[in-house]
Amino acid sequence: MPKISIILPTYNVEPYIERALQSCINQTFKDIEIIVVDDCGNDKSIDIAKEYAKKDERIKIVHNEKNLGLLRARYEGVKASNSSYIMFLDPDDYLELNLCEKIVEILCENDMVCYSLFKQDKEMQFVKNDEEISQKLNLDDYLSHCANSKKCYWNLCGKVIKKEKYLQAYQHAKHFGKINMGEDLLIFLYLLSFIKTIYFLYSQNYGYYYCFNIFSLTLSYDNRKYNEQIKILNFIKENFLTLKKGLVDKFYFIIFLDLCLYKEENLYSFYKQNISNTFLLYVKKKMFKIKRRLITLTKKILIKLYF
């Protein structure tokens, strides 16, 4: 039985999937399983994956009968996996080649392992975290870390999760129905109900490379993602009796404020790209700074009260 199953939900990623598969195949730790989920795109992504599967028996391809979206496509991959631990790789991203080797060293007796996620900046350069952390946390300490984080801590890419915990979380999350945005937030909040031990394995030397997909970038501001995430947050709050007592009530407003902050940052980025009037842009910048300070101050107060 492989130690880790890497799930690649695949939909129209032809320019990138070969790089993603190479980063899995060439891992220094070889006892892994690579599951490509065909979510019925209309390019040659799956044809490329099939060619790789002919050469490497660790690659398995799961075909969906129709497009199911990211949440369900991931689940289909997890169902087909044979490992006790799973990790997700979006096929337009890739992994450091020694990542699995480092993860396996501390995998046992942990429900989830969080590792470095390197994002690209405007110059398309990867920004690597300055922190080096190798530490085991219980759920309370992990929630405290998330509350104080300035990063998107609910992203499932950047985590290895015990398979049984993910399946438990999905059984609750599936009642939300098909969603197009905010899947990670939905699963993450339910995962908190079942996870007890978390290990941080942050390093500049290995991690997940989160890439900009030039075919999905847009210069227009889209409010749908924010609205979808708020909808998810409210859905979970209304159904909090299925979760640990008080967990969502305790964490709800922290996440709400983070979503507001991400929304303001995205909106301001849109203004910078599209507004040529210097004075108007100056006003938008001032408004953004005021909102950011208010949100940050409110979050600090809530952290003091809750944690």
pLDDT tens for the chain, 307 residues long, are 899 999 999 999 999 999 999 999 999 999 999 999 999 999 999 999 999 999 999 999 999 999 988 999 999 999 999 999 999 999 999 999 999 999 999 998 899 999 999 987 766 777 776 678 899 998 888 888 888 888 888 999 999 999 999 999 999 888 777 776 788 888 998 888 889 899 999 998 999 999 876 555 444 556 777 788 888 888 777 765 455 556 666 777 888 899 989 888 888 888 887 888 888 999 999 999 999 999 999 999 988 887 7
* Among the listed residues 135, 7, 14, the one whose alpha carbon sits nearest the alpha carbon of residue 78: 7
* Among the listed residues 54, 201, 52, 39, the one whose alpha carbon sits nearest the alpha carbon of residue 115: 201
Q: From its phi and psi, is residue 202 left (phi > 0), alpha (psi between -120 and 50) or beta?
A: beta
Predicted pLDDT at 217: 43
Question: Cα separation of 257 and 86, whole Å?
Answer: 30
Predicted pLDDT at 122: 66
DSSP 77: H
Quick check: 237 and 252 in contact, CB under 8 A? yes
Predicted pLDDT at 215: 54
Which are the contacts of 14, defined by CB distance < 8 A and separation ≥ 6? Answer: 43, 44, 45, 48
Question: Cα separation of 180 and 70, whole Å?
Answer: 7
Both ends of the chain: CA-CA distance in Å?
40
Predicted pLDDT at 241: 44
Question: Cα separation of 226 and 281, whole Å?
Answer: 23
- Other beta carbons within 10 Å of 277: 9
To which H or E segment does residue 56 belong?
A: none
DSSP 258: H
Residues in the chain: 307
Tokens describing residue 209: 């490379």
Question: Cα separation of 68 and 62, whole Å?
Answer: 13
Question: Cα separation of 206 and 196, whole Å?
Answer: 25
Question: Cα separation of 165 and 147, whole Å?
Answer: 22
Which are the contacts of 248, defined by CB distance < 8 A and separation ≥ 6? Answer: 189, 236, 237, 240
Query: Exposed/middle/buried for 246, CB within 10 Å: 0-12, 13-18, 19+?
Result: exposed
Question: Cα separation of 169 and 176, whole Å?
Answer: 12
Question: Cα separation of 172 and 190, whole Å?
Answer: 7
Residue with tokens 């990211």: 70
pTM over 0.75, yes/no? yes
Question: Cα separation of 222 and 274, whole Å?
Answer: 14
Predicted pLDDT at 233: 81
